[in-house]
Amino acid sequence: MMNQTKRLTHITMLIAISILFHLIESMIPIPIMIPGFKLGLANIVGLIALYSYDAKIMLGVNIMRVWMASLLRGMLFAPGFWLSFSGVLLSSIAAILARKYSPMSMYGVSCASSACHVIGQVCAVSILYHQFLMGALLPILLLLSIPTGLFTGMLAMQVLKRIQTER
């Protein structure tokens, strides 16, 4: 059993790492010319939080990541914040429900989360910018969410295996 200080330290480190991944990923140029496409590296940390702790911790890590990364970039409550927030909120709920109520592996949970992140962002773009044609990109973004979901799920699984062997 982990003592309270060690638990809080682990959770704080998850938040810090997810903020770092979020900031780094925003600087990585992606050669695919599709607006809104990202690899979702920070979602690896959310999955680790969900599988290491629980849904509440995952939601806290993900929300703190978006909040703090937006604050650090000077974009708190800017449209980019709302796009990230809507995506992370919907993807976190999807991951939590998929983990709790389905027989999906971490790969399936990650893909469901990735797909819902895309749906949340497209909905936010449609509302914020009155760009309902953005929905035309939804099938392409959903298709791309499968390999990115598999990739983030694989990395999260590898990290969890290494964490469990150290304990």
Each of the 167 residues of the chain gets a pLDDT tens digit; together they read 569 999 999 999 999 999 999 999 888 877 776 766 788 899 999 999 999 999 999 999 999 999 999 999 999 999 989 999 999 999 999 999 999 999 999 999 999 999 999 999 999 999 998 887 878 889 999 999 999 999 999 999 999 999 888 76
With left for phi above 0 and alpha for psi between -120 and 50, is residue 111 left, alpha or beta? alpha
Cβ proximity of 81 and 26 under 8 Å:
no
Q: Which of 102, 83, 92, 10 is CA-nearest to residue 46? A: 92
- Distance from C-alpha of 138 to C-alpha of 27, rounded to nearest angstrom: 23
Q: Does the reported pTM lie above 0.85?
A: yes
Closest C-alpha among 89, 84, 3, 92 to residue 55: 92
Angle at 53 between CA 52 and CA 58, to 5 degrees: 100
Q: Which of 102, 78, 91, 82 is nearest to 141 (CA)?
A: 91
